[in-house]
Amino acid sequence: MMAKRSKYYQDNFIARWISGEISFAEQVEFEKWLTGNPEDKKYFNELQWSWKCAGQLKIKSRLSAEERWNSISETIHGGSFYKAKKTGVFKFWQAASIAAAIIMMVAVYYWTTSDQLISEFAQRGEHKTIFLPGGSEVTLNAASSLKYKKRNWDKKREVFLIGEAFFNVTHGKEFVVKSNFVVIKVLGTSFNIRSRNNKVEVACVTGKVSVESSQQNFLPLILNPAFKSLIIKNQIPAPPIQFKIKNKTGWLTGNYVFDSIPLSEVFEEIERQFNCHVILKRKMGERTYSGGLDSKSVEKSIEMVCLSAGLRYSSTGTSEFIIY
């Protein structure tokens, strides 16, 4: 019997591997481990072969999730699979038995994980595109996160956003975004949400967007294409105003455009986009910035903002900038 000390013998990993759920990095590491462990490689090859032999095999069981896990562990880890001859080919009934157990394993894996919130996060200095069930697409801006549940997605399309993201929603059931104290509802459309510092800006690009508040009692605000609204905590939404779509969605392609944005918020955005640290040695007051950033250079971006605002800056050489 082969030693079962490796993390790759855990039921959860086997279920994810069989169903193609492991990440690219995990796959590379796993294959490297198999190369150095020929006996283990043979075991996993036979396991995969057994799975393919399942064909149209259907499993019906009234066992609880816990009982299924126990049954799977007994079959895979303590039963005939390990006792089979290492040099022979499995008889089909043995393979089918193992395949049945694997089917149960994968089913239980999805059953136990589908009701959990899935978290996606874009680190500082990066953007991340997420494909939701059903084909809807979300692009997270730097230092932003998204959470959702896969279970019953076709009946309840709901996500939770912190930060900024661009949504391209496929038609279907109502799609709901909850961000801070704001609830955004659509059917099929594209729009941008920016939720920072207790302010949520919703900008409609295509279709129509409904904006509500979980704190204030007001009628839903309907946004048409090229219109946006700003909602500040404990206040009613600002009247919709028109905007240039290329300016609002420019961050998707590295074109950052600011229109009378407070300087403190501009420097915060620079920190997020370039994963740097900006120290303000003087108060920015009510001063604002209108202009862009250099997507390839943090120093050039800071220089552009400082020149416009009559400020000076210095760099420590370690991604840290001091504004005077």
Is 281 found in the same domain as 200? no
Query: In this structure, what CATH number is given to the domain that contains residue 304?
Result: 3.55.50.30
Of the candidate ranges 101-110, 169-178, 222-231, the one whose mean pLDDT is the lowest:
101-110
- In a domain? residue 2: no
Is 30 inside any structural domain? yes
The Cα 303–Cα 54 span in angstroms is 63
pLDDT(112) > 60? no
Same domain, 46 and 108: yes
Mean pLDDT calculated for residue range 184-205: 94
What DSSP element (H or E) covers 17? helix 11-18
Residues 207 and 308 in one domain: no
Over range 212-241, report the average pLDDT: 88
Residues 189, 106 share a domain: no
* SS3 state at 301: helix
Asked if 242 and 274 sit in the same domain, the reply is no
β-pair partners for 199 = 196, 232
pLDDT of residue 74: 54
- Of 201, 229, 247, the residue that ends a domain is 247
pTM of the model: 0.64
Does residue 104 lie in a domain region?
Answer: yes
The percentage of the chain sitting over the pLDDT mark of 90, rounded to a whole number, equals: 48
Regarding beta strands 209-213 and 241-242, do their DSSP bridges make them parallel or antiparallel, or are they unpaired?
Answer: unpaired
pLDDT category at 37 given cuts 50, 70, 90 is confident
Q: Name the residue with higher pLDDT: 252 or 90.
A: 252
Q: Are residues 158 and 62 in the same domain?
A: no
Residue range 302-320: mean pLDDT, rounded: 91
Give the residue-averaged pLDDT of 146-167.
93
CB distance 324 to 281 below 8 Å? yes
Backbone angles phi, psi at 15, to 5 degrees: -65, -45
Please name the residues in contact with 154: beta carbons below 8 A apart, sequence gap of 6 or more: 133, 134, 172, 173
In a domain, residue 1? The reply is no
Each residue's pLDDT tens digit, 274-310: 999 999 988 888 899 999 998 889 999 999 999 999 9
- 142 and 175, same structural domain? yes
| Type of residue found at 235 | Q
Rounded Cα distance, 199 and 196, in Å: 5
CA 291, CA 313: separation in Å to the nearest integer?
Answer: 18
User: 122 and 107 share a domain?
Assistant: no
Confirm if 199 and 231 have CB atoms less than 8 A apart: yes
Three-class SS of residue 11? helix
- Name, in order, each residue with C-beta under 8 angstroms of 218's C-beta and a sequence gap of 6 or more: 212, 236, 237
Q: What is the DSSP string of 90-144?
A: PPHHHHHHHHHHHHHHHHHHHHHHTTSEEEEEEPTT--EEEE-GGG-EEEEPTTE
Q: Hey, which residues does 145 pair with through a beta bridge?
A: 121, 162
- The set of long-range contacts for 141-145, using a CB threshold of 8 Å and a minimum separation of 24, is 141/165, 141/166, 141/194, 141/251, 141/272, 142/272, 142/273, 142/275, 143/272, 145/119, 145/120, 145/121
* Mean pLDDT of the 216-223 span: 83
Position 108 scores a pLDDT of: 55
Can you read off the two tokens belonging to residue 83? 């006792």
Tell me if 273 sits within 8 A of 125, measured CB to CB: yes
Mean pLDDT of 166-170: 96
Phi first, then psi, for residue 158 (nearest 5°) are -140, 135
**Residue 229 sits in the same domain as residue 268:** no
On the question of pLDDT at 20 being above 70, the answer is no
| pLDDT attached to residue 51 | 61
Answer yes or no: is 205 within a domain: yes
**What one-letter code names the amino acid at 60?**
K
Domain end position, chosen among 84, 113, 142 = 113
Looking at the fold, whether 157 and 232 belong to one and the same domain comes out as: yes
| 127-143 average pLDDT score | 94
CATH number, domain with residue 213: 2.60.120.1440
Q: Are strands 128-131 and 277-280 parallel, antiparallel or unpaired?
A: unpaired
112 burial (CB, 10 Å; 0-12 / 13-18 / 19+) is: middle
* Stretch 180-206: mean pLDDT: 93
Residue numbers of the domain that contains 270: 256-323
Residues 229 and 279 in one domain: no
What pLDDT does residue 14 have? 79
- Domain shared by 208 and 127, yes or no: yes
In a domain, 163, yes or no: yes
**Average pLDDT score over the chain:** 81
Count up the domains in the chain and report the number: 3
> What pLDDT score does 190 carry?
96
Instruction: With respect to residue 12, please indicate whether it lies within any of the assigned structural domains.
Output: yes
Q: Name the domain boundary from 225, 247, 269.
A: 247
Confidence band, pLDDT 50/70/90 cuts, at residue 86: very low
